[in-house]
Structure 1
Amino acid sequence: MQLTHDTTNFENKQFPVILLLDNITSEANIGSIFRLADAFGVQKLIFHGTVPNLNSNRLKRTARNTHNTVDFEVFEDATQAIGDLKNSGYKMTAMEITSESKPISNFQLEAEKILLVAGNERHGVSEEILKNCDTAYHIEMFGKNSSMNVAQSLGIALYEITKVLCS
């Protein structure tokens, strides 16, 4: 028998993870990220640059009301917020393929608090944000493409990160 929201025995938890969304523009992706944040017990979303259209029907349908329950902030420029979070112990980790990135399947907890960065659908994490990151992880892929949908990549990353946080 399929269980409903009210009949699952999942433990309600929140992890010391904040998502920094660097100019993510797709309303469907933003809605999916709200749902992922709820599902994985993310503390908060920080939108940097592009302001999300929370009145979008596409976003609302995809988010399934989580845009009303997940904490978030919007900054045209999140530089001050990033500095404040890093000063309070957050390790800034990008989901981006770089010359120094490691596979997310090998994620290691290097700090108690994580500021996980995801980038724009077309251009990835901006150089401005990337230079502030302490580390970077990527998803190993086996096809010809070297990119993945931002919401899907965050789902994979949050799964790997929360797996480590729960152990």
Structure 2
Amino acid sequence: MITIAKLKTLKDRTCVRKCALLFHQQATLALRNQHEPAYLAALTGLFDSPQFRSVLGESELARLAGLGVKLSLLQEAELAVACEDIHYLLLQALGSDSADWDFVDEEGNLDSSQRTILDHILVLDRLRSPYNIGSIFRSADSFGIQKIYLVEGCAAVDHPRTYKTSRGCTRTVEYEVLGEEAMLARLKILDLPLFALETGGTELDVFPFPAKGIGVIGSEELGVSPALLGACEASLGRLSIAQAGTKGSLNVAVAAGIMMHGWFSA
């Protein structure tokens, strides 16, 4: 745990960012009644420091002071909520944010070492929406996907909307962009079982998910391309998700998430 003396020597924004992470850690500890009251009190003492006054506005400082007073009066879940309120207030002041209970390193980046990685690979075939690409990366991070291949024509992984929707997971899941011909050649080299997430296939609850394999996901409009679908049908075929509503298909990112969870749990 970084010392208060060390925090006081850091540059303004670095100090505030470190403190945000420390309050996040203390929130986690508070839920198990393992927080450190003396350390929390020392952290709140920094609220009036030059570093904090340089980064936060007067209204933010006032709210921060009010939250700091509450900390000594709270325990466990209520204390955790107050610590998280401080965490997010500091991130907002820095113009940054993170998802609830992320595993992060000391620099505030998602900690890839916390991931469980399986021999599961995805191929995204011409998904045009950066929001869908980002959402799939976020689910892929959670459900053990080793790597994502994107066929040329997909929305850019480095698009701001992709990154924002992924909540940083475009940096935790390995990926590569290939043309369709190069992708087909790569599939031959990998020589793994293939299946397509498509209508008209075996339903998810009885699908024979491979321990090592590749799932291909196409666009909502056109589905998986004929060439890639042919490769899948020559292997494990199609996987389908049963539905009981009025829509003909699910959002592709939602469907991909359901499929990834089924594969992860198999």
TM-score, structure 1 length as denominator? 0.85
Corresponding residue to 1:4 among 78, 101, 110: 101
> For the residues of structure 2 that align with 1:81 and 1:51, how far apart are their CA atoms?
18
Q: What is the percent sequence identity of the aligned residues?
A: 30
2:133 corresponds to which of 21, 24, 30: 30
Task: Measure, in 2, the Cα distance between the counterparts of 1:95 and 1:138.
Answer: 6
1:127 is displaced (CA, Å) by 1.3
Match of residue 39, structure 1, among 134, 142, 146: 142
Instruction: Give the C-alpha shift of residue 58 in structure 1.
Output: 1.2
- Aligned mates of 1:68, 1:6 — CA distance in 2: 13
Query: In 2, Cα distance between the equivalents of 1:83 and 1:68?
Result: 27
- Gaps of at least 5 residues in structure 1 are none
Contact 2:133/2:157, CA 8 A, preserved across alignment: no
Q: How does 1:74-113 map to 2 (within 5 A)?
A: 74-77=177-180, 78-86=183-191, 90-98=192-200, 101-109=201-209, 111-113=210-212
1:14 aligns with 2:14: no
- Report the Cα distance in structure 2 between the residues aligned to 1:94 and 1:6, rounded to whole angstroms: 32
- Cα drift, residue 51 of structure 1: 4.5
Greater relative contact order, per chain length (Cα 8 Å cut-off, separation 6+)? 1
Following TM superposition, by how much is the alpha carbon of 1:33 offset from its aligned partner in structure 2, in angstroms? 0.9
Q: SS of the residue aligned with 1:161?
A: helix
Distance 1:93 1:56, change over 3 A: same
1:162 aligns with 2:264: yes
The residue that corresponds to 1:49 in the other structure is: 152
Query: What is the number of residues matched between the two proteins?
Result: 155
**Offset at residue 131 of structure 1 (A):** 0.5
Gaps of 5+ in 2: 1-76, 82-99, 105-113
Q: Counting strand residues as a fraction of each chain, which structure ranks higher?
A: 1
Supply the RMSD in Å over aligned alpha carbons.
1.9
Structure 1 or 2, whichever has the larger Rg, is 2
TM-score w.r.t. length of structure 2: 0.55
Q: Using the TM superposition, give the Cα deviation of residue 56 of structure 1 relative to its aligned residue in structure 2, in angstroms.
A: 2.0
1:118 partnered with 2:217? yes
Deviation of 1:145 after TM superposition, in Å, equals 2.2
For the residue of structure 1 that corresponds to 2:189, the secondary structure is helix
Contact kept in structure 2, 1:107 and 1:160, CA below 8 Å:
no
> What is the deviation of 1:6?
4.2
Given the superposition, is the C-alpha separation of residues 43 and 105 from structure 1 closer, same or farther in structure 2, using an over 3 Å criterion?
same
The 2-side partners of 1:130 and 1:51 are apart by 17
| 3-state SS of 2:199 partner | coil
Match in the other structure for 1:153: 255
1:51–1:23 distance in 2 versus 1, CA, 3 Å:
closer
Higher helix share: 2
SS in 2 for 1:132: helix
Instruction: Quickly say closer, same or farther: Cα 1:144–1:6, change in 2 above 3 A.
Output: closer
CA–CA distance in structure 2, aligned partners of residues 65 and 6 of structure 1: 12
Which amino acid counterpart does residue 68 of structure 1 have in structure 2?
Answer: R
